[in-house]
Amino acid sequence: MTKHVFQTEVNELLHLIIHSLYSHKEIFLRELVSNASDALDKLKYLTLTEDKFKKINFDPRIDISFTDGDAGRTLTIKDTGIGMNEEDLIEHLGTIARSGTKNFLGKLSGDAKKDSNLIGQFGVGFYSSFMVADEVEVISRKAGEKDAFRWVSDGKSGFELEKTVKKETGTEITLHLNDEGKEFGNRWTITEILKKYSNHIAFPVYLEYEQSNFEGEGENRKEIKELKSEQINDATAFWKKPKSSLKKKDYNEFYQTFSNDFKDPALYVHTQAEGAMDYTTLFFVPEKAPADLFYADYKPGVKLYVKRVFITDDEKELLPTYLRFIKGIIDSEDLPLNVSREILQQNRVLDNIRKASVKKLLKTFESLAKKDKEYLAFYKQYGRPLKEGYYQDRDNRDLLEKLVRFKSSKVDGYTSLQDYVSRMQEDQKSIYYVTGDNEATLRRSPLIEMYTKKDIEVLIADDEIDEIILPGVARFGEHEFKSVNRSNAGDELKKENEDEKEPDDKEVAPFIKKIKKVLGDKVKDVKVSSRLTDSPSVLVADADDPTFQMQEMMRAMGQFDMPDVKPILEINLDHPILKKMKDMRKSKDFDNATELLYEQALLLEGMKLENPADFVKRLNEVLTKSL
C-alpha cells in the first residue's frame, strides 16, 4: 500500500466544495453518475474502433446500490466503463490538471468562495463526494488490463493506493456516508435525485434495493428479502428524441445533467438535419460565461458523437474559437467511427456541420438582439468573444456586425453599429471612435471635443481589443472606422472650418519651433490642432503609428523590443494659455508652460508621467506666480 498526498489545489477545491455547496450536496450523485457515463462512452468507442477491444463483452450499465444497516451506511456507484489504472488514479483523483481551474481557484476570495453558482461553473466532479462521505473507496480496473487498484481517502490530506482484484472492467465507487449524507442511503431519495439529474444519461442506470415479501399467516408469517434491480432512466440519447416531444423543461434538465451548471441555460438551439447532411446538434448558451473563457487551455464545451457513439470532448475545432462558450453536442450520421484527430480537423462533413452550426447560432443571437434587456445580459457575458468573431470570421461578418455593441458619446449603455449609422450627420462619412482604457476619461477627452461640438457621435472604445478589431475590420458597410486618437483624424472635418481664419504662418512657425525645442525628443512633432475647443493641448498618434494603448498592449503581450513611438502634441492656438505664451519673453516661464501642456495631455490620456516630482515642481512655480 502506498500513501499519497493531494496536490495543494485539490485541498483548496475540497475545502471550497464543502463550504460552498452544502445546500446542494445532492449533486455529488449527478457528478459520479456523469463520470460513469463518460467512462462508458470512452469504452464504447474503443470497442467499436480498436481490434484489441472488439472482443470485450461490453455490457454498458451503471448500477447503484446502498446499505443502511448496522455495518454503516454506504452508497455504491458501479460502472462497466473504461476504468482507471494506477497512474490514472493518481493523476485523476489527486491533482487538478487544468490551469483554468487552478487560476479560478486562486482568484476566488471572501464571499465569492461561498457562491455555489461560481463553483458550479467549472464542475466540481468527483471530489464533491466528500460532502456526504467521510471515506470514499474507488476500486477500478482499466479495460484491457489485468490488475485492479483500490484508492481510498478521507478527503483530508491524501489517499492510499493498493493493488487488488476485480473481476470486471470498470469502476466501483463506495461512499461511507457521514451524518450529512445519511439521507442518501435510501431508495426513494436516490430515485428522486437520479430522476432529477441523471434521467438523460444515455446508458441504463439501475438501482438495486431489497424488497421485503411476507409469506404465511400468523405465527408462520415470515419476511423474505428479495434483491431487486430497477432501471431508473430511459437511456436514450436525448438529442435524438423528436423535437416536437421536448419541452423547455426537458432541455433545461438535460443541460444540467450535461454541463454541471446549476442554472438553466440562457438559450438552446436544437437542429435535426436530414437529407444532404444527416446530423443532430444541440447547443446551449450558459447564463454565465464559463470561468475559463479567457484561458488558452479552456475546456471545449461541445462533444462530438458519431451515430450516438461518443467520440471526443476535447476537440477545440468543432466550433470556431470565438464560440467557445457554447456547450452541447454534435452527432453526425456520416462520419466514420474511427475518425482520427487529423481527419477531424480537415473533414468535409464536419466542416459543413460547423459552418451550418455557426450560422444557426449567430442567427439565434440575432433574434435575441431584438429583445434589448435579454440581449444586454447575454452581451455582458459574451460581448468579448463575439468581438473576436467580428474580427476573425470574415465569412460571417455580415451577421456578426449586427451583434457587436459599443459604448458611445451619445448614448448611455451600448449602441449597435446600425443605430450609430442611423444617427449620423447627413454629410458624415466615417464612423469615429476613440480608444483608451477608461470610459470616464474617454468621455471627457479633449480628443473628442471637436466632434462633440459638431454634434458628431464618437464610439467610446474602452475595451483593449477594440484597438485591434476596429482597424482590422476597417469598415461597416460604406462607412470607414476612423480613430480620433490620430493626428489626421480631423482632416475630413476641417473643410468646414475654412471660414475660420487660418493661423498666420509667419507668426506661428517660430512659436511652434520654440515649443519643439523645449520638448525635445519627447514628441514626434508639434502641430496646430483643428480639433480642440476647450482644452489647450492633446497628444495623438501619427497617422500610421500605433497608439499609446496599442503600444502598452504589445508590451503586455511580451513585445519589449518595440520601438518607443513618440506622439504628436497638438496645441489649441485659440486657448488663453497659448495666446499668452506667444507673447512670453522669459524663457523659464515659457519652458514650464510648455512642459505642463505636454504633461496634462499625458495625464488626460491616462498615461504615467515620466517624472512626477518635476511636474509638481513646475506646477508650484506657476502657482506661486499666479497667486
Q: Sheet holding 411-416: strands in order across?
A: 411-416, 405-408, 458-461, 431-435, 479-483, 475-476
204 binds ligand ADP (CB under 6 A): no
Count of helix runs (H) and strand runs (E) in the chain: 22, 23
CB of 291 to ligand ADP, least distance (A): 13
**Count of residues engaged in binding ligand ADP, rule: CB under 6 A:** 16
CB of 252 to ligand ADP, least distance (A): 21
27 binds ligand ADP (CB under 6 A): no
Among residues 36, 43, 207, 569, the one that binds ligand ADP under rule CB under 6 A: 36
493 binds ligand ADP (CB under 6 A): no
Q: How far apart are the first and last CA of the chain?
A: 84
Site string for ligand ADP, 154-193 (x = CB under 6 A): -----------------x----------------------
Side chain identity, residue 276: A
98 binds ligand ADP (CB under 6 A): no
Write b or e for each residue in 270-299: b if 16 or more Cβ atoms lie within 10 A of its Cβ, otherwise e.
Answer: bbebeeeeebbbbbbbbbbbbbbbebeebb
Side chain identity, residue 171: T
Which residues are CB-contacts of 304 (< 8 A; sequence separation ≥ 6)? 310, 311, 312, 313, 315, 318, 329, 330, 331, 332, 344
CB of 325 to ligand ADP, least distance (A): 17
CA torsion through residues 331, 334, 338, 340, sign? negative
65 binds ligand ADP (CB under 6 A): no
86 binds ligand ADP (CB under 6 A): no
The beta-strand segments (E) located in 485-575 are 525-528, 537-540, 568-571
Among residues 92, 263, 307, 423, the one that binds ligand ADP under rule CB under 6 A: 92
526 binds ligand ADP (CB under 6 A): no
Residue 239 CA to residue 576 CA, distance in Å, equals: 72
596 binds ligand ADP (CB under 6 A): no
126 binds ligand ADP (CB under 6 A): yes
Closest CB to ligand ADP among residues 125, 301: 125
Side chain identity, residue 399: L
Q: Report, in angstroms and rounded to the nearest whole number, the Rg of the chain calculated over CA atoms.
A: 33
Backbone dihedral region for residue 66 (phi beyond 0: left; psi -120 to 50: alpha; all else: beta): beta
Judged by DSSP in three states, 428 sits in coil
Write b or e for each residue in 217-236: b if 16 or more Cβ atoms lie within 10 A of its Cβ, otherwise e.
Answer: eeeeeeeeeeeeeeebbebe
CB of 194 to ligand ADP, least distance (A): 16
123 binds ligand ADP (CB under 6 A): yes
The overall longest dimension of the chain from CA atoms, in Å, is: 126
Closest CB to ligand ADP among residues 173, 177: 173
Closest CB to ligand ADP among residues 34, 551: 34
75 binds ligand ADP (CB under 6 A): no
Among residues 100, 120, 125, 436, the one that binds ligand ADP under rule CB under 6 A: 125
Piece of 33-41, 155-163, 196-204, 391-399 that binds ligand ADP (CB under 6 A): 33-41
Side chain identity, residue 40: L
Piece of 79-87, 184-192, 351-359, 498-506 that binds ligand ADP (CB under 6 A): 79-87
Piece of 76-84, 414-422, 442-450, 542-550 that binds ligand ADP (CB under 6 A): 76-84
Instruction: Please report the DSSP string for 304-365 in residue order.
Output: EEETTEEEES--GGGS-GGGTT-EEEEEESSS-TT--HHHHHT-HHHHHHHHHHHHHHHHHH
100 binds ligand ADP (CB under 6 A): no
Among residues 46, 84, 190, 512, the one that binds ligand ADP under rule CB under 6 A: 84
41 binds ligand ADP (CB under 6 A): no
79 binds ligand ADP (CB under 6 A): yes
Closest CB to ligand ADP among residues 129, 408: 129
10 binds ligand ADP (CB under 6 A): no
35 binds ligand ADP (CB under 6 A): yes
CB of 222 to ligand ADP, least distance (A): 39
Instruction: Please report the DSSP string for 561-599 in residue order.
Output: T---PPPEEEE-TTSHHHHHHHT---HHHHHHHHHHHHH
Closest CB to ligand ADP among residues 173, 459: 173
31 binds ligand ADP (CB under 6 A): yes
CB of 254 to ligand ADP, least distance (A): 18
Among residues 33, 45, 81, 121, the one that binds ligand ADP under rule CB under 6 A: 81
132 binds ligand ADP (CB under 6 A): no
Among residues 10, 33, 39, 148, the one that binds ligand ADP under rule CB under 6 A: 39
Residue nearest ligand ADP, CB atom distance: 125
CB of 116 to ligand ADP, least distance (A): 17
153 binds ligand ADP (CB under 6 A): no
CA torsion through residues 9, 12, 18, 20, sign? negative
Nearest CA-CA partner of 386 in 469, 457, 442? 469
Q: Do residues 256 and 262 lie in contact, with contact meaning Cβ atoms separated by under 8 Å?
A: yes
Site string for ligand ADP, 375-414 (x = CB under 6 A): ----------------------------------------
Residue 47 CA to residue 605 CA, distance in Å, equals: 63
Nearest CA-CA partner of 364 in 402, 390, 418? 402
Q: Do residues 225 and 57 lie in contact, with contact meaning Cβ atoms separated by under 8 Å?
A: no
Instruction: Please report the DSSP string for 260-282 in residue order.
Output: --SSPPSEEEEEEE-SSS-EEEE
539 binds ligand ADP (CB under 6 A): no
Closest CB to ligand ADP among residues 204, 471: 204
Chain contacts with ligand ADP (rule: CB under 6 A): 31, 35-36, 39, 79, 81-84, 92-93, 123, 125-127, 171
